[in-house]
Amino acid sequence: MSNELTPLNIAVLTVSDTRTEDTDTSGHLLRDGLLEAGHHYYDHKIVIDNIYRIRAATSQWIADDQVHAILITGGTGFHGRDSTPEAMTPLFDKTIDGFGELFRQVSFEQIGSSTIQSRCVGGLANRTVIFCLPGSNNACQTGWEHIIKPQLDSRQKPCNFVGLITGRG
């Protein structure tokens, strides 16, 4: 059992009809967080909130054996075009039910009952772990710091996702 971090290759997808590379603050926040944690920033894309664009971008990464994790920001609410959960859940081999549950529990402490409108989802697809977060900076920070970062840390006990996605577990 090693006390060293196993660095992962992590891709970030921003789902938005309005964000650009310059204005993608939540995507930048996730990138900065994963780099600070010692992981590799594999790729980044911004796509409009469209089920098929989301699936096209993520399917390429899911099929790429070099990608261990995908972080998606945006498209998880109830507004007309929010479609990230609908795009991603059919691609999951297994759903991480506890991710959405835990996110809403942690988020409740910050925003109260408004967290009920968060449709965060997570899953595994082709040994790639995927976390879908709301598009706000606060939500991305909450999800990353309290849930995702520890679960992508090979030193996290009693369990983490690293062994499952790297084949070392």
- pLDDT given at position 2: 61
- DSSP at 48: -
- pLDDT given at position 65: 95
Q: Could you tell me the residue range of the domain that residue 56 belongs to?
A: 9-166
Domain count for the chain: 1
- pLDDT given at position 114: 82
- pLDDT given at position 110: 86
Is 46 inside a domain boundary?
yes
- pLDDT given at position 51: 96
Is 141 inside a domain boundary?
yes
Is 2 inside a domain boundary?
no
Query: 133: part of which helix (H) or strand (E)?
Result: strand 128-133
Do residues 130 and 67 touch, judged by C-beta distance below 8 A?
no
User: How confident is the prediction along the chain (169 residues), in pLDDT tens digits per residue?
Assistant: 468 899 999 999 999 999 999 999 999 999 999 999 999 999 999 999 999 999 999 999 999 999 999 999 997 878 878 899 999 999 999 999 999 999 999 999 888 888 888 899 999 999 999 999 998 899 999 999 999 999 999 999 999 999 999 975 5
The whole-model pTM stands at 0.94
Is 102 inside a domain boundary?
yes
CA angle 145/149/151 to nearest 5° reads 125
Is 144 inside a domain boundary?
yes
Do residues 130 and 138 touch, judged by C-beta distance below 8 A?
no
Q: How many residues does the chain have?
A: 169
Is 3 inside a domain boundary?
no
Do residues 57 and 47 touch, judged by C-beta distance below 8 A?
yes
Is 109 inside a domain boundary?
yes
- pLDDT given at position 75: 76
- pLDDT given at position 56: 97
Integer angstrom CA distances of residue 82 from 2, 33, 40, 45: 41, 25, 28, 17
User: Pairing state of beta strands 121-125 and 128-133?
Assistant: antiparallel
CATH number (domain holding residue 32): 3.40.980.10
Helix (H, G, I), strand (E, B) or coil at 72: strand
- Separation CA 127–CA 114 (nearest Å): 33
- pLDDT given at position 118: 87
- DSSP at 144: I
Is 1 inside a domain boundary?
no
- pLDDT given at position 82: 85
| Amino acid identity, position 108 | F
